Amino acid sequence: MKKMRLGRMLEFFIIGVVMGIVEDIIAVSISTGASITWKVLLVVTLVAIPFAIISELVVDHFKPFDHMN
């Protein structure tokens, strides 16, 4: 049970990171017109990882109204 739960969490985390990177690259490209280099990709990745962690651990697993049921 725990192994499947961890696998699912990692799956959503990886998808979150990939989607965050794609989303940020599109935003950088459209808003600045800059060409996408390895340096830009590195910065975008470093920005996407914390947001993927926050969305996976806090938003997806935070249930403030569970005690009311």
∠ CA(8), CA(18), CA(31), 5° rounding? 150
Q: What is the pLDDT of residues 48-66, one digit of tens each?
A: 998 888 887 776 666 666 6
Is the per-residue pLDDT at 11 higher than 70? yes
Is the per-residue pLDDT at 3 higher than 80? no
User: Running DSSP on this structure, what letter comes out for residue 57?
Assistant: I
Is the per-residue pLDDT at 1 higher than 60? no
What is the residue extent of each domain of the chain? 18-60
24-46 mean pLDDT: 92
The pLDDT score that the predictor gives to residue 31 is 94
